[in-house]
């Protein structure tokens, strides 16, 4: 443990190291908050809050290890995608749980999970297995394939099955909450492709300050905004929908 802590870059002088420390603590705190508060909402929302606690809890544990990996080698790609493989599908499960009362089926849940898994697997291949030096064709090919999964989730949240179920729920709090989560997918998740394109071979690599060294900064900000934000929206729905 002493070695790991000594390997971490100084968060007071390194902005990326700073966001690793802040991200780890913020998501750990959010996990405790969501878990404790699940007992203060009606029973039908408790599973949604538990999932929110799992999302931020899993991320906090991974950030604890990623901050050390960043300090030791600067490479967090594998740990990053392990985290996303667990947490992003859970974020998609939230859409199913929020619209379940309106008729959402497990088929919808699995379609969202598979779309998010496809998005992550293609992104990982594009980022981790790019030939040395960075191949633009490799980066673009797998980036486009990854985008297919993203577009499906985005469409479902804005105009597809999730959006229609939220509208048919007749609950304005659920409708507003699902639309807010859709904004997270549209705007918050857009930070990830920016980070992806900063990698060697990506279209943004070498443009101004955008390069592989800034990837973790983009990803850390996106994770904190999206994972904690998702949970706070779910919490807001849970405490307001039954009033």
In tens, the pLDDT along 145-163 reads: 999 999 999 999 999 999 9
**From CA 208, how far away is CA 103, in angstroms rounded?**
48
What does the pLDDT read at residue 144?
95
**Residue 123 predicted with pLDDT over 80:** yes
Confidence of residue 12 (pLDDT cuts 50, 70, 90): low
**Residue 141 predicted with pLDDT over 80:** yes
- Give the range of the structural domain holding residue 105, as residue numbers without chain letter: 2-240
Q: What is the DSSP letter of 213?
A: G
Helix axes 136-158, 106-128, angle to 10 degrees: 160
What does the pLDDT read at residue 215?
83
What does the pLDDT read at residue 2?
40
What does the pLDDT read at residue 14?
80
Span 189-203, average pLDDT = 85
Q: Pick the residue with more confidence: 1 or 90?
A: 90
Confidence of residue 220 (pLDDT cuts 50, 70, 90): very high
List, in sequence order, the alpha helices (H) in the chain.
2-7, 15-37, 43-72, 77-99, 106-128, 136-158, 161-168, 172-183, 191-197, 215-223, 229-240
**Residue 240, CA distances (Å) to 45, 79, 143, 173 in order:** 11, 36, 39, 7
Segment 27-72, tens digit of pLDDT? 999 999 999 999 999 999 999 999 999 999 999 999 999 988 888 8
**Residue 26 predicted with pLDDT over 60:** yes
pTM for the whole structure: 0.90
| Residue where the block lists tokens 């008729």 | 103
What does the pLDDT read at residue 134?
80
What CATH number does residue 50 fall under? 1.20.1070.10
| Number of domains within the chain | 1
Span 133-141, average pLDDT = 88
Span 88-106, average pLDDT = 95
């Amino acid at each position: 443990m002493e070695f790991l802590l000594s390997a971490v870059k100084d968060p007071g002088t390194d902005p990326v190291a700073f966001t690793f420390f802040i991200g780890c603590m913020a998501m750990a705190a959010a996990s405790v908050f969501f878990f404790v508060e699940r007992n203060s909402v009606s029973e039908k929302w408790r599973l949604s809050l538990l999932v929110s606690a799992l999302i931020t809890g899993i991320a906090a544990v991974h950030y604890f290890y990623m901050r050390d990996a960043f300090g030791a080698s600067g490479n967090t790609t594998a740990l990053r995608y392990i985290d996303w493989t667990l947490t992003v599908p859970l974020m998609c499960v939230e859409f199913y749980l929020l619209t379940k009362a309106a008729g959402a089926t497990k088929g919808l849940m699995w379609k969202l999970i598979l779309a998010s898994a496809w998005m992550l697997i293609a992104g990982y291949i594009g980022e981790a297995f790019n030939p040395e030096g960075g191949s633009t064709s490799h980066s673009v090919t797998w980036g486009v394939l990854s985008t297919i999964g993203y577009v499906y989730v985005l469409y479902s949240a804005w105009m597809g099955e999730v959006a229609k179920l939220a509208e048919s729920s007749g609950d304005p709090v659920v409708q507003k909450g699902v639309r807010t989560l859709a904004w997270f997918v549209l705007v918050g998740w857009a930070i990830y492709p920016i980070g992806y394109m900063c990698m060697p071979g990506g279209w943004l690599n070498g443009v101004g300050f955008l390069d592989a060294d800034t990837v973790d900064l983009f990803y850390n900000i996106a994770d904190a905004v999206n994972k904690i934000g998702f949970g706070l929206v779910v919490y807001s729905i849970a405490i307001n929908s039954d009033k």
